[in-house]
Structure 1
Amino acid sequence: LNEYMEKERDEYLKADTYERTEERQDYRNGYYERDYMLSIGKIKLRVPRTRSGEFAPTVFEKYRRCDQAFALSMLEMVVNGVSTRKVKNVVEQLCGEYVSKSFVSSLTEKLDPVVKEWASRSLSTDYYRYVYVDAMYIKVREHHKVVSKAVYIATGLNEGNKREVIGLKVSHEESYEAWKEFLNELVGRGLQSPKLVISDAHSGLKKAI
């Protein structure tokens, strides 16, 4: 890899060491050390530099693409319900490298705009004949303690008989006001009046429907 980067710098400069030529683009400026992760473990490379600082070996561009793919794999684990602690342990087993839980958590923040776009998408392009509404309770870590919260879920059956989650919202508890707000948001996003709404017998939910 060191030899490969050296050749790349030669090609970039268009001149060998100490060679005088009108085609020369820049001048050599030593090396700097950088760690590089391979499947066999970590190695230390001597990365060649130029005076202008514009030369960049292609080795690390390939590494960056691999790094992005690895980050996406970690995100997929999180989406599928794997805890940040388990993701951290998997990374350490695969790479022998320590990854903090806060790093994994910061990665999941990249999902926020994706989820927000999905959650606010228009519902006017499909007609949902039947809509199922219900709440499930999940444990959430909030202000350094674990609390129980209600997740309101609306599932629609479209004209192609495909079920689709059309709404999702987290609230402190089930109440008429919260259900009414949730259903109004669905209408505001373009939900047309269905033939039937299916729910349990929660009085606040029935009143909101």
Structure 2
Amino acid sequence: MSLMSKEQLKQWIKEKNMQSVEDVQSALKELFADTLQEMLEAELETSLGYAKHDTKNKKTTNSRNGYSKKKVRSEYGDVDIQVPRDRAGEFEPTIVKKNQTNVTGIEDQIIAMYAKGVSTRDIQDHLQQLYGIEVSPTLISNVTNKIVPLIKEWQNRPLQAVYAVVFLDAIHFKVKQDGAIVNKAAYMAIGIDLEGHKDVLGIWIGENESAKFWLHVVNELKNRGVQDILITCVDNLRGFSEAISACYPITEIQKCIIHQIRNSIKYVSYKDIKKITSALQPIYKAATEEAALDELNQFEQTWGQKYPLIVRSWRTNWAEISTFFKYSPEIRKLIYTTNVIESYHRQLRKVTKGKAIFPTDEALLKMLYLATMDVLRKWTGRVQNWGQILLQLSVQFPERVQPYLR
């Protein structure tokens, strides 16, 4: 995924009057130099606790400090930077050391390792061994803070007008807040557009999962341009369906069958779990809704007296459990569970498993965003059998789909 939108790239090209490969290289070189200079300033501020220099206007705000001009080698060629000097001897640059003339890859290394969930201590050890530099945890935080504007831009980017399917689910983490450790939910939305491509539409950090916060999420999707969602796939959170319908009243809702089964066996005796799960299979594997209801009736005759709560749950949720019966096998396989988003969550857990507690919401969001960018780079193809799925959807929802087909 590009760090800039197409419009931003166009504007940047126009501003720099780029007309050749050499112009692009020159612009990237200038951008790299500016970024490196800002990192040095962040390091100085981290070390001494206050800003020292306005590089644009060449002003030094503290008489003890100055700057020395230095040429360093980078991926974009040699660049000139101003390295902070502290006459009082309190500050020694680590991003670009006194005798260092090659900075290729340092900032990328920090971001890349952070994205993989590498601990701050391991990042410090890696940079020490590879580059011979020592960095503080605060400096690593300041470097990764450079991506915060990118996160805000990504989180607020315009979305497509119509999504065929949107999966909504949350994953939970422990975060420090006001001196205490609290549970936080990272709310996620994955959309499949009418071309069959998956995308993470956003990440929102909030308190424990609630329908009220999900209403905030779907309202934000609408404000970012999503006019219609054909089908949403959700778990069995109370009030979830009402939150979606309040914003997208004609969207069909499919409750996850796997979540329904998990809820069904929650209060089942251990010795009966295998029997119950086997007895439920004919319900959701039936060819038609009518056949599924017959199987539910049969289940009630066999187990209803011993486990009435299971029967009550399936009948109460039936309208949104049975949505997938009206579709072809290809669509059924796609929507009957929230496996798409749970697979994404597994990728995130690989990165975050080393972090038992996050210091702030922002630290959590930074790691989830960087991990998401890695995931998105692998989502290059279309959903399997998308041609058949789109044909089915265009027949099922002709007025909502066909105007957007190219």
Q: Same fold (TM over 0.5)?
A: yes
In structure 2, how many angstroms separate the alpha carbons of the residues matched to 1:89 and 1:145? 30
Residue 202 of structure 2 is aligned to residue 167 of structure 1? yes
Letter matched to residue 218 of structure 2: L
Aligned to 1:185: 220
1:156-180 CA-to-partner distances (Å, cap 9, x unmatched) read 0012211100121000111121111
SS in 1 for 2:239: helix
Aligned to 2:324: none
Letter matched to residue 85 of structure 1: R
1:82-115 CA-to-partner distances (Å, cap 9, x unmatched) read 2222211211221232211111011011010001
SS in 1 for 2:144: helix
SS in 1 for 2:135: coil
SS in 1 for 2:213: helix
Residue 124 of structure 2 is aligned to residue 88 of structure 1? yes
The answer (yes or no) to whether the contact 1:135–1:150 under 8 Å persists in 2 is yes
Displacement after TM superposition at 1:117 (Å): 0.3
Letter matched to residue 193 of structure 2: N
Letter matched to residue 123 of structure 2: V
TM-score by length of 1: 0.66
Aligned to 1:196: 231
Aligned to 2:151: 115
Aligned to 1:136: 171
Aligned to 1:176: 211
In structure 2, how many angstroms separate the alpha carbons of the residues matched to 1:161 and 1:74? 34
In structure 2, how many angstroms separate the alpha carbons of the residues matched to 1:92 and 1:206? 52
In structure 1, how many angstroms separate the alpha carbons of the residues matched to 2:124 and 2:110? 9
1:110-148 CA-to-partner distances (Å, cap 9, x unmatched) read 010001100100013x53110000010023244455432
Relative distance call for 1:161 and 1:66 in structure 2 (3 A) is farther
The answer (yes or no) to whether the contact 1:179–1:204 under 8 Å persists in 2 is no
Relative distance call for 1:153 and 1:57 in structure 2 (3 A) is closer
Relative distance call for 1:205 and 1:68 in structure 2 (3 A) is farther
Aligned to 1:77: 113
SS in 2 for 1:105: helix
In structure 1, how many angstroms separate the alpha carbons of the residues matched to 2:69 and 2:80? 13
In structure 2, how many angstroms separate the alpha carbons of the residues matched to 1:206 and 1:167? 19
Displacement after TM superposition at 1:78 (Å): 1.1
SS in 2 for 1:140: strand
Using CA pairs under 8 Å that are at least 6 residues apart, name the structure with larger relative contact order, 1 or 2. Answer: 2
Relative distance call for 1:96 and 1:147 in structure 2 (3 A) is farther
The answer (yes or no) to whether the contact 2:167–2:234 under 8 Å persists in 1 is yes
Relative distance call for 1:63 and 1:85 in structure 2 (3 A) is farther
The answer (yes or no) to whether the contact 2:211–2:237 under 8 Å persists in 1 is no
In structure 1, how many angstroms separate the alpha carbons of the residues matched to 2:188 and 2:237? 14
Over the residues paired in the alignment, what is the CA RMSD in angstroms? 2.4
Relative distance call for 1:141 and 1:67 in structure 2 (3 A) is farther
Unaligned stretches of 5+ residues in structure 1: 1-54
Relative distance call for 1:181 and 1:57 in structure 2 (3 A) is closer
In structure 1, how many angstroms separate the alpha carbons of the residues matched to 2:70 and 2:216? 55
Residue 98 of structure 2 is aligned to residue 98 of structure 1? no
The answer (yes or no) to whether the contact 2:69–2:80 under 8 Å persists in 1 is no
Aligned to 1:149: 184
Unaligned stretches of 5+ residues in structure 2: 1-67, 82-100, 245-406
Displacement after TM superposition at 1:194 (Å): 1.1
Whichever structure has more strand as a proportion of its residues is 1
